[in-house]
Amino acid sequence: MRALVKAKAEPGLWLEDVPVPTPQEGEVLIQVLKTGLCGTDLHIVAWDDWAQRNVKAPLVVGHEFVGRIVRTTHGVEDLREGDIVSGEGHIVCGHCRNCMAGRRHLCANTEGIGVARNGAFAEYLTLPATNVWKHKPDIDLEVASIFDPFGNAVHTALAFPVIGEDVLITGAGPIGVMAAAVVKHAGARHVVITDVNEYRLDLARRVGVTAAVNVQQETIQDVQKHLGMKEGFDVGLEMSGHPTALPTMVDNMSHGGRIAMLGLPAQPISIDWSRVVLHMLTLKGIYGREMYETWYAMSVLVEQGIDITPVITHRFEANDYEEALATVREGQCGKVIMDWEA
């Protein structure tokens, strides 16, 4: 089968012919239909410090996908050949304290597909049945292919109640834009998203944000005045990891405001902790998706008609992976999809 492989411990990615994987007991074999590209994939291609610490070559990369089950094994229940599925990319140990307590998203021994074991940028993928999410047959395959990052957005957006609240989102990348769509759908009043990338701010406008703000041209304080806000934002979603984003967000929160952080800073950042204390702010770190409450919420949101298709902007055949990666790297895009059936 064709697969995108981190064949050597150096920058680059290679399209190779590799054996079709054999599912073990309790696993399924999935024919991959479409995959989404992610920033993690760029780190692996570049072979930066993070990739060198976490990835062992050779490895099939990729973790965002939709596919069709073509084989099941002994011990697999409720899944059948022909089912359209995506997968939770974090494979947990099942025996640590958090796993035993049902908090699998907090497993201390998580292994990621496309990072610690062979991933989805291939014509076939094996996955434990416990990590498989079955879609309804009529789901849009492109939407299903990005359920992994959509889950990050949903997990972050719904970390705190947002009905009637004013929400500030820093970072208009694909996950930030999807989070904006979620909080609008969930009943937020004003949804303000910030970035410096006009292409991505325009994507945010397409999902109906109240204001998409280029912080090189306008301050968040000015936006608050324009909207008639007097006490700051109730909920903040930090999606960028930029060193100025969290301090700016803290300065614009209301007393008792709550912040969910998904963006990973590349280096330590300083914030005004006296403001956090005196304004009684809550900061909560978000990683991945809750298993499987977030997946359930995603499916319900899609069934209810939430539209995240504006975030999907580019499509390539898998053989054109270099052009697809270059598009993501340039940043003038939303989600980029690769088709493995072509």
Residues known to be catalytic = 40, 43
Residues in a beta bridge with 127: 28
Q: Is residue 106 marked as binding? A: no
Q: Is residue 251 marked as binding? A: no
Rounded alpha-carbon distances, angstroms, from residue 270 to 105, 137, 243: 28, 48, 8
CB distance 257 to 279 below 8 Å: yes
Q: Is residue 264 marked as binding? A: yes
CA distance 33 to 64: 11
**CA neighbours within 13 Å on the CB side: how many for 243?**
5
Token code pair at residue 255: 């007393």
* Helix (H) / strand (E) containing 189: none
| Number of other CB atoms surrounding residue 287 within 10 Å | 14
**CA neighbours within 13 Å on the CB side: how many for 161?**
3
Nearest C-alpha neighbor of 120 from the set 316, 273, 340? 340
Q: Is residue 199 marked as binding? A: no
Q: Is residue 63 marked as binding? A: yes
Please list, in sequence order, all residues whose beta carbon lies within 8 angstroms of the beta carbon of residue 293, skipping any fewer than 6 positions away: none
Q: Is residue 263 marked as binding? A: yes
Q: Is residue 333 marked as binding? A: no
CA distance 311 to 329: 16
Q: Which residue carries 């969290």 as its tokens? A: 246
Q: Is residue 15 marked as binding? A: no
Q: Is residue 341 marked as binding? A: no
Q: Is residue 227 marked as binding? A: no
Alpha helices in the chain, H assignment, sequence order: 39-46, 49-54, 97-100, 141-145, 147-157, 174-185, 198-206, 220-227, 245-251, 273-278, 293-303, 321-330
Q: Is residue 163 marked as binding? A: no
CA distance 321 to 19: 20
Longest dimension (CA), the chain: 62
- The annotated binding site is made up of 38, 63-64, 93, 96, 99, 107, 175, 195, 200, 262-264, 286-287
- The annotated binding site for Zn(2+) is made up of 38, 63-64, 93, 96, 99, 107
- The annotated binding site for NAD(+) is made up of 175, 195, 200, 262-264, 286-287
